[in-house]
Structure 1
Amino acid sequence: MDIISEKSSGWLDTSLHMAAYILNPYYLYNNLEVENDTDAVVDVVGKLFPEDYDTQKQIMMVEFQMYKCKQGTFDQVVAIKECEVNDDKFDPANWWSKYGGSTPHLRKIAMRILSLTTSSSECERNRSTYIEGVHPKKRNLLDATKRKKLEFVQFGANLMEKNKKRKARSHEVLLAQDASDDVQEWIVEGDVDDASARSRDLFDEEFKSASEEEVDEEVE
């Protein structure tokens, strides 16, 4: 058990795990000792709202206090009764969606965290990256620390590449044949009346624009 505790240290006891424990009303309202351990919530709020100190103050000084002290919509009898039993019917994220109206920022955070479910998909994907690129047969003499760092860098690079492609797909391309004289007026200097006269006629026979297929190929 000591070996297991040492291996799991830093993986299953992060601020995110503790924040999920505190934001679950079943544990907070049934364990008074949890109220004194709010550092994890402060850490998570600071990461979700970086440099937005007004929102951080609103969450920690107002909304979190209302949740902890059962004020606002949290003092309703039905809200307290619904989180007394932690069975298959109790969904903490759904509980926040129904009774967290008086704390909108904290409700959003709680629903995001408590909606995370356990899954092995990320572990399988991470293992594939590890075996194929970090620890193949020819590089099986690397120490554990270096293998862990290489795995982190490679997996992070893959995520960044996927995010870059997703942003590229979301860009909207303005095609010349979709534009009109009214759209072009604002980029022509001078009075509005003279803009239409000097703007390029998109329907002129001599004017040629890249087809939609060519633009798609360039974006791809």
Structure 2
Amino acid sequence: MCFELFKPLVKVLRLVDGDWRPSMGFVYGELKDAKKEIIKLCKDTKEIYEPIIQIIDSRAKDRLDSPLHLAGYLLNPYYYYRDDEAQKDPACMTAILTCVEAFFPDNFHVQHLVSNIELLKYKGMEGMFGKKLAKMGRMTNNDTFDVGK
């Protein structure tokens, strides 16, 4: 039971400790998935999983929860379109706005375009986000996915 319980976490550790470095959105998403899997393996018994999740969260705090990590997670179509939590998480939306303000500090026109137009297209799978290649990216958990291939 113990080995099975930590198997999802070992997967994440191997992912970040390899020669190839995944993007922040994948690391954050895989860690979220690992925590969900641990809870499931504990049969939703809070007394068992809560101390484990608290340790994971304490180690990730201020390392894997920056606005850039959260924005990368939200903008990763594999996680966004399959996870209702990502779509409704106010912390993720705040992170997007924080990043947009940081990337375009004095360009309110671009901030508006990204935050109020392009992000809505992304959420609604409109325009380029509704194309066949974009849909393939939603189904593929692969940080090296290349729409050109």
| TM-score interval, smaller chain | 0.5 to 0.7
Give the direction of change, closer, same or farther, for the CA distance of 1:67–1:4 in structure 2 (3 Å limit): closer
Q: 1:6 to 1:63 in 2, by over 3 A?
A: same
Counterpart code for 1:27: Y
The higher radius of gyration belongs to: 1
Match of 1:27 among 70, 79, 90: 79
Counterpart for residue 77 of structure 1: 132
Query: What is the CA distance between 1:68 and its match in structure 2?
Result: 1.1
What one-letter code is carried by the residue in structure 2 that aligns with 1:26? Y
After the TM superposition, list the runs of 4 or more consecutive aligned residues in structure 1 that deviate by more than 6 angstroms: none
Q: Secondary structure at the match of 2:139?
A: coil
Shift in alpha-carbon separation, 1:81–1:5, aligned structure 2, 3 A: closer
Query: 1:14–1:76: structure 2 CA closer, same or farther, 3 Å change rule?
Result: same
CA drift of 1:58 comes to 0.7
**Structure 2 counterpart of 1:154:** none
Separation of aligned partners in 1, 2:82 and 2:100: 23
Instruction: Tell me the distance in 1 between the aligned counterparts of 2:114 and 2:62.
Output: 26
Counterpart check, 1:13 vs 2:65: yes
- TM-superposed CA distance for 1:4, in Å, is 5.5
Does the CA contact (< 8 Å) of 2:80 and 2:87 recur in 1? yes
Cα offset, 1:83, TM superposition: 2.6
Report percent identity of matched pairs: 31
User: What is the identity, as a one-letter code, of the residue corresponding to 1:24?
Assistant: N
- List runs of 5+ in structure 1 lacking aligned partners: 99-220
Judging by fraction of residues, say which structure has more helix: 2
- Counterpart in the other structure of 1:57: 112
TM-score by length of 2: 0.54
Aligned length: 93
- Is the alpha carbon distance of 1:46 and 1:76 closer, same or farther for their aligned partners in structure 2, counting shifts above 3 Å? same
User: What is the CA–CA distance in structure 2 between the aligned matches of 1:7 and 1:33, rounded to whole Å?
Assistant: 21
For residue 75 of structure 1, report the CA deviation from its aligned partner: 1.2
| Larger relative contact order, structure 1 or 2 (CA cutoff 8 Å, min sep 6) | 2
Say what the alpha-carbon RMSD is for the aligned residues: 2.1
Rounded to whole Å, the distance in 1 between the matches of 2:56 and 2:135 is 36
Query: 2:140 is aligned with what amino acid?
Result: V
| Distance (Å, rounded) in 1 between the aligned partners of 2:115 and 2:98 | 11
| Counterpart Cα distance in 2 of 1:44 and 1:70 | 21
**TM value normalised by structure 1:** 0.38
TM-fit CA distance, 1:82: 3.7
In the TM superposition, what is the alpha-carbon distance from 1:3 to its structure 2 partner? 5.1
- Pair 42,79 (structure 1): closer, same or farther in 2 beyond 3 Å: same
SS in 1 for 2:64: coil
